[in-house]
Amino acid sequence: RYNPENLATLERYVETQAKENAYDLEANLAVLKLYQFNPAFFQTTVTAQILLKALTNLPHTDFTLCKCMIDQAHVSAMTCVCVWGALLLGTPTPLTLLLRGQEERPIRQILYLGELLETCHFQSFWQALDENMELLDGITGFEDSVRKFICHVVGITYQHIDRWLLAEMLGDLS
């Protein structure tokens, strides 16, 4: 299972999941575990795809589990502090101010998007996503899965909601 010789096959499987709107948490966790054991083989693009696929499975805890398996060398602790500080103030900081290092930039952006979703800052999520649509290249069904999660949250939170607010939360759907 954690044989580095299997890594290329598992990475191709992650790409297949992204293209075909499929999801296999166990295979994705195996990739992340192999990256832990073999840091030289770490692939930012594959890790980004795994994180995005985990976001499509909210409200399950897959995203948190995947996030915790990523070596902190690829995720600056300072970035997380900045994100949380901005969220606590209720004014999320633009992604471009939070991120350093072009190689790990997609991972940090996705972690930020995940924080916005997990803290129900849906309008800010869509704005940040619009500014970084290149993250979704090759990911089929991402936006629809996020909308399904948002509908779930709205359904258990609101007894009544204005149509305009719901549309805004769902990414300005008309």
Low-confidence ranges of the chain (pLDDT < 70): 1, 76-103, 174
Looking at residue 78, what is its pLDDT? 40
Looking at residue 75, what is its pLDDT? 74
Looking at residue 87, what is its pLDDT? 52
pTM of the shown model: 0.83
Contacts 24+ apart (CB under 8 A), 4-11: 4/34, 4/37, 4/38, 4/41, 6/30, 6/34, 7/31, 7/34, 7/38, 7/41, 10/34, 11/43, 11/46
Q: Please name the CATH architecture into which domain 4-169 falls.
A: Alpha Horseshoe (1.25)
Looking at residue 92, what is its pLDDT? 53
Q: From residue 157, how far is each of 95, 153, 161 by CA, in Å?
A: 28, 6, 10
Phi-psi region of 90 (alpha: psi -120 to 50; beta: other; left: phi over 0): left
